[in-house]
Structure 1
Amino acid sequence: MAKQVQTFFLEEWLRSNSGSSINIISRSSSSPARAIIQAWADLRDSLQHQSFRPHHLQSLKTLLNSQASLYVADPQAKLLISILSSTNISPPPESYPLFLRLLYIWVRKSSRPSPVLIDSAVKILSHLCSSQCNSDESSFFFSEVVVLLGIGYALSSSGNVFVVRILDSLFGIWNREDGPSGNVSHGLMILHLIEWVLSNFISSQSLERVDVFTKEVLETSNPNHASFAMVMGAAGALRASSRSVSNALKRLRISAEERIEAVARVLISGTRGFTNSSNNPENSLLLKCISLALGRCGSVSFRAPLLICLASALLTEIFPLQSLYTRVLQYQHGNLAQLGPNEIKEHLSSVLFKEAGAITGVFCNQYASADEDSQSIVENLIWDYCQDTYLGHRQVALFLRGREDELLGDLEKIAESAFLMVVVFALAVTKHKLDSKFTLELRMDISVKILVSFSCMEYFRRMRLPEYLDTIRAVVVAVQENESACVLFVESMPSYSDLTNQPGPSSLQTTEYTWSKDQVQTSRILFHLRVIPTCIERLPASKFRNLVAPIMFLYMGHPDGKVARASHSLFVAFVSSGKDSNDDERVLLKEQLVFYYIQRSLEGYPGITPFEGMASGVAALVRHLPAGSPSIFYTIHSLVEKTHNLCCEVMTEEADLWKDWQEELEPCKKILDLLLRLLSLVDIQVLPSLMKQLAQLIAIFPRDGQNMVLNDLYAQVAESDDVTRKPTLVSWLQSLSYLCSQASSSNATSKGVGLEINAAFARSDDVLSLNRINARL
């Protein structure tokens, strides 16, 4: 059984491809047969008496009320055409769309419409396009003409020149300054109409005739209309020619590309390679036309004006964040009416915004083929856009959050898509510029700029993107190989003062600013906190001390756990760095930072400081600082003191609580576990102090608490394979267990036990002499 072919009506195809919401053929109710007969009789009377009265307009409406079931034959079509072509009859402007709708019903439903009548209908369209340009109904009239033109040409035998004349008239109505020129959907209808016409023509005519016809279409039309409609017409020709690989169509493609380039060149002339269309509606429409046309027509040869226009369209028309931020902040006192309540929502649902992906793809393809000067221009445009977006959105978010959350959410939807555009473009840059054929200086500069741009847009990253990760890996590898690049990236961070003060003018500072609630800023710093460890080996100690350390310690106190953990990870990376260097400045800085790191961490524990982050920092410093470092002794003393204070705050004799160390005792137990792990990590010079302070701490616990800690110690020592310190730990653990049992049986006070422990440690000369302590410490 043969597969049934699905039929698509032209108006449906045009509407779906243009994103237009215009209902070209609306559903209707039915009129009685008598009313339909009378309506046709009235129209014949109009032609006979060469006049058009109000009741004749009502007759047209009566017919259209039954358009779903109405059949228009050739005689009725001839009647309609005769009325429209009569020089003595002057129907009102609102009647023309109704005439065209009836003619559309005729050509759509008739199996064999008269070729003579088709030619007459197409001729009258040309006249109507010119005469109705100033009609209030011209926007709707335009849609009817587009559909009839496409179907009429398919059936017409009038020749190429006639079609060119019709297209020229159609371009005139669309290009009219005060008419539908701002409706991008109409432009897309032209694009796809010409594609449809040319595709049919190409498939049915010889290539020689196609060449002649396309020359006339692209070059004969009125030059005054080229700036708008011919951009879309040329794109339609490109789409049609892409369906054939014949060399005979190369001229068509070249001519069409040249027409679009000519418009683009005029648009960017005198703008230093970039056009800001925010205050120029004509430029705005041109950018929309060019970007949509190129996005729809596929592969286009590189031309510098097209690349610049695509960049301009992406940054000012598709993702117009800067102009939106400016307008929002102009009405900071709560009056956002001039922005338009649905303006941003309409942009989000527009054809232009939905085509952002396709336009970005064409933009990146143009970039890959561009010369270095053009590439440099658009690169700088994108990088500057990222920084402007960060600065603008930071202010707007602080101003709108809690007041206009829906508006803020819509703005962020635009910014999220802009982030995707930046990522795709940055990946294209890395593939092209991070090649060994380019100088090291250029590769480093590009890598740093991409990282800085990503940090500015990090707030808008809502998903895990392979393109994002691939770009990060590529540029990080380049940056971590060069000290200058590392320094440049670190220097791009906002200063401590910028981080702790509200941005923008004082007029926006309506509430007290809290740095930790600035989500846009926090996302940017989090990006830096995650990237800096990858190049920490190349970062001079002086830069870390002056630029990184203040910010690292500030964000250790951030209430968001992932931000605080990233700060601790950065500290771990710095303390662990420089293993193979003799950098005395770095070693000294590590020692200095430990004191404040422990103080800052314990101040925020257990409320803010994440224990895992602090534990990793403590483990790193005891491993990587010099043996016997004073900062390690300070760390142990501070941890023991913190554990003692936490336990004393919830000191209780409730057996169940001390048996499992849960609820209030859980923070205390975590630090105690960390201290127990340090028994196998600290160097041999620090071990006696750790054992002494641990013994004093454990002795103050109730019996159930002591038993649990001793059990943990037994398991840890039993599993140890350190032959140097294990005998010492075994002896110490036996003595500690004995003292705890003695204190329990004699009801000795914790103070008394503590004094015995102090005396025992005072008599020990070094860590290895501890194994000579038998019954008492």
Structure 2
Amino acid sequence: MLKLMEWLVLGFVESRKMRNVQVLLEVISPEKCESEGYVLFPVVMAACGALRALRFAAVRLRLDFDPRLKEAPERTIRFAAERATVEGRHDDDLHRILLQCVALGLTLCGQVTFHESVLKCVCMALLEELLPLPCLLRISVKSPDGNSAELAKDQVKQHQDSILFREAGPVTGILCNQYSFADEKAKDYVETRVCEYAQELYHHLRAAVLLHQAKRKDLLAELDKIADAAFFMIVVFSAEITKHRMDANSPGGLQPEVAVRILVALSCVEHLRRLRLPEYTEAIRHAVIVNQENASASALFVESMPSCAELTSKPDLLTLDGTRYNYYMDEVQTSRILFYMRVMPTCITLIPDHIIRDKLAPVMFLYIQHSNDKVTRAAHSMMVSFLSSGTDTDQDDREALKEQLSFDYIGRSLEVYPGVTPFEGLASGVVALVRHLPAKSPAILFCVHSLVVKAKDLCSTAMVRDRSLWRSWEESTEPCKKISELLLRLIFLIDIQSFSYLLKELAEFVTWLPKEGQDVLLDDMHASVADSDDVIRKPVLVSWLQSLSYISSQASVRESRNSNTKNARSAGGVELSINRTVARL
């Protein structure tokens, strides 16, 4: 119909029979459509064909048409778009075809004057007809096995081969163009629809990946082709939003909820990101800047994150047939939380303490023991940013919360070290903790004590497994060496009021080690103290190391004297003597 109308109009224009063109346009006018009860999808295609012909003729034949002539087909397009949006709740074939025809016709006839109905219609067509990924995912989850799965796969392939899918990119361009001219109300409507689409896509994708990642990877591969187009559409539209709504000079000014809307939509499709597009980076940057400058936006962003209860519950759409749901196997959910944990440090200072305690901390501690290394590192980085944060208005409350969360942080991190916790993440968290908590904080003392206990446990395991541990200490990559080096590093970082407690714990740790281990650590500590420029701690450390070296040597002498004594009384006497000496130190 579009091609036929284009051919007719071009023929009449070239023959200079403009009256015939007017008659054609009158036949498809909104008034005629309404009075005659026309089926609108062929009418809208005819209007797009007429508009395409007039624009082509204006360029090729260099004709200047009466503006009213160009306005006539646009009125018909607007009329059809209005009907499509009004009847949007009717899930019938005629309505779907009308949505498709408006969207496809606009890709062929070129840019049309902005109208709210056209914008809404293009948005609906793009999300429901051209990129119906949530619907396809839902079908695949409802029928996961046998012939039903093959049927779902066939539907996916059929859509991939359709003109609807091929035109998703151009229609996205039309959506962005119409959006750029829209008023605040229309923009808000489209932004909300796209964000809701992203959230629906996330829920269905989460269920589909969990269900099919083991048995039906071929189905997921086919779905990924449509998912890539959906991801691109959301990213490009988000970038368009930033151009018009993330500027202080925009008509509505900076709007925190818009920034949050962008971040939520992008978090939902983070699993689909194969590479970082320029539009993606631009949208994230603008939204983050708004978050950094607006406390309400930061709070809204954290509140939009799934709660701990949601994260540990299986998707509503999924039936696991008695199999236990493991949150760490949920790749789509993990990608989304990783997105949150990467953005959160940029605005952590503005997030209210009660939201951090009730919403952020449980999620952070849940994922600090995640099996994915990237996620675990991000959780440690978020804890570091929190410990480093502070506000002038509620400094006391923030400090109290830091201390409260530090106990859980150290306990959970060391519980799964070295299996899950990356040492770099643990070290950065410990350093932030001793630097930013108040002097002689109970959390600092707990941290030191926990590190010493962990070091003892790891050294015991390592010495049983490797008898040459101390002889190859320099080249060793054992976790016990890393923890020991971290303890030595704290000597020059910890506050002066907690300094004596650290030295006491270190002395106990060193004297607990066998003679070979004592010598190795003492050598390391001598080297660190010799290289230090700390004029306050160095004299104390020199004296402390001399005393510790003396204790070590005396313990060695007693050990050799009692080497032939096997009874428990003698062994207890040696241990008691060493403990008394350490206490004096």
TM-score bin, normalised by smaller chain: 0.7 to 0.9
Instruction: Give 1:83-162 correspondences, 5 Å limit.
Output: none
Instruction: Give 1:544-693 correspondences, 5 Å limit.
Output: 544-578=356-390, 580-652=392-464, 656-661=468-473, 666-693=478-505
In the alignment, structure 1 residue 731 sits paired with structure 2 residue 543: yes
Paired with 1:470 and 1:710, the residues of 2 have a C-alpha distance of 52
- Asked if structure 2 preserves the Cα contact closer than 8 Å seen for 1:699 and 1:753, the reply is no
Instruction: Give 1:116-265 correspondences, 5 Å limit.
Output: 171=1, 190-191=2-3, 205=14, 209=16, 211-212=18-19, 214-215=21-22, 218-219=25-26, 224=38, 227-228=41-42, 229-234=45-50, 236-237=52-53, 240-241=56-57, 243=59, 246-248=63-65, 250-265=67-82
- Asked if structure 2 preserves the Cα contact closer than 8 Å seen for 1:696 and 1:754, the reply is no
SS of alignment partner, residue 658 of structure 1: coil
- Asked if structure 2 preserves the Cα contact closer than 8 Å seen for 1:296 and 1:358, the reply is no
Instruction: Give 1:703-722 correspondences, 5 Å limit.
Output: 704-722=516-534
Partner of 2:241: 429
CA spacing shift, 1:480–1:212, aligned 2, 3 Å: same
* One-letter code aligned to 1:262: F
- Asked if structure 1 preserves the Cα contact closer than 8 Å seen for 2:12 and 2:20, the reply is no
CA spacing shift, 1:362–1:249, aligned 2, 3 Å: farther
Alignment deviations for residues 34-57 of structure 1 (CA, whole Å, 9 cap, x no partner): xxxxxxxxxxxxxxxxxxxxxxxx
- Asked if structure 1 preserves the Cα contact closer than 8 Å seen for 2:462 and 2:480, the reply is no
Max radius of gyration: which structure?
1
Deviates more, 1:559-568 or 1:291-300: 291-300
Q: Which runs of 5+ in 1 are unaligned?
A: 1-170, 172-189, 764-776
Paired with 1:698 and 1:566, the residues of 2 have a C-alpha distance of 33
In the alignment, structure 1 residue 401 sits paired with structure 2 residue 218: no
CA spacing shift, 1:654–1:604, aligned 2, 3 Å: closer
Paired with 1:283 and 1:653, the residues of 2 have a C-alpha distance of 72
- Asked if structure 1 preserves the Cα contact closer than 8 Å seen for 2:303 and 2:359, the reply is yes
Question: Structure 1 residue aligned with 2:115, among 296, 303, 306?
Answer: 303
Paired with 2:310 and 2:296, the residues of 1 have a C-alpha distance of 24
Paired with 2:334 and 2:285, the residues of 1 have a C-alpha distance of 22
Question: Structure 2 residue aligned with 1:353, among 139, 158, 165?
Answer: 165
CA spacing shift, 1:194–1:657, aligned 2, 3 Å: farther
Partner of 2:272: 460
Q: CA deviation at 1:433?
A: 1.7
Alignment deviations for residues 5-64 of structure 1 (CA, whole Å, 9 cap, x no partner): xxxxxxxxxxxxxxxxxxxxxxxxxxxxxxxxxxxxxxxxxxxxxxxxxxxxxxxxxxxx
- Asked if structure 2 preserves the Cα contact closer than 8 Å seen for 1:383 and 1:450, the reply is yes
Paired with 2:276 and 2:521, the residues of 1 have a C-alpha distance of 43
* One-letter code aligned to 1:474: H
Instruction: Give 1:308-327 correspondences, 5 Å limit.
Output: 308-327=120-139
CA spacing shift, 1:642–1:751, aligned 2, 3 Å: farther
Q: CA deviation at 1:448?
A: 1.5
Question: Structure 2 residue aligned with 1:289, among 101, 107, 121?
Answer: 101
CA spacing shift, 1:651–1:262, aligned 2, 3 Å: same
Aligned residues with identical type, % of pairs = 46
* One-letter code aligned to 2:132: P
Paired with 2:112 and 2:363, the residues of 1 have a C-alpha distance of 48
- Asked if structure 1 preserves the Cα contact closer than 8 Å seen for 2:244 and 2:250, the reply is no
Partner of 1:419: 231
SS of alignment partner, residue 342 of structure 1: helix
* One-letter code aligned to 1:475: A
Partner of 1:485: 297
- Asked if structure 2 preserves the Cα contact closer than 8 Å seen for 1:555 and 1:564, the reply is yes
- Asked if structure 2 preserves the Cα contact closer than 8 Å seen for 1:211 and 1:248, the reply is no
Paired with 2:483 and 2:337, the residues of 1 have a C-alpha distance of 29
Higher relative contact order (CA 8 A, sep 6+): 2
Paired with 2:580 and 2:393, the residues of 1 have a C-alpha distance of 42
Instruction: Give 1:513-524 correspondences, 5 Å limit.
Output: 513-524=325-336
CA spacing shift, 1:575–1:311, aligned 2, 3 Å: same
Question: Structure 2 residue aligned with 1:362, among 139, 149, 174?
Answer: 174
Paired with 1:419 and 1:543, the residues of 2 have a C-alpha distance of 30
- Asked if structure 2 preserves the Cα contact closer than 8 Å seen for 1:556 and 1:568, the reply is yes
Deviates more, 1:613-622 or 1:452-461: 452-461
In the alignment, structure 1 residue 475 sits paired with structure 2 residue 287: yes
Alignment deviations for residues 51-78 of structure 1 (CA, whole Å, 9 cap, x no partner): xxxxxxxxxxxxxxxxxxxxxxxxxxxx
CA spacing shift, 1:694–1:751, aligned 2, 3 Å: farther
- Asked if structure 1 preserves the Cα contact closer than 8 Å seen for 2:104 and 2:167, the reply is yes
- Asked if structure 2 preserves the Cα contact closer than 8 Å seen for 1:451 and 1:475, the reply is yes
For these two proteins, the number of residue pairs brought into alignment is 566
Deviates more, 1:555-564 or 1:405-414: 405-414
Q: CA deviation at 1:332?
A: 5.0
Partner of 2:565: none
- Asked if structure 2 preserves the Cα contact closer than 8 Å seen for 1:545 and 1:589, the reply is yes
Tell me the TM-score normalised to structure 2 length.
0.87
Q: CA deviation at 1:751?
A: 8.8
Tell me the TM-score normalised to structure 1 length.
0.67
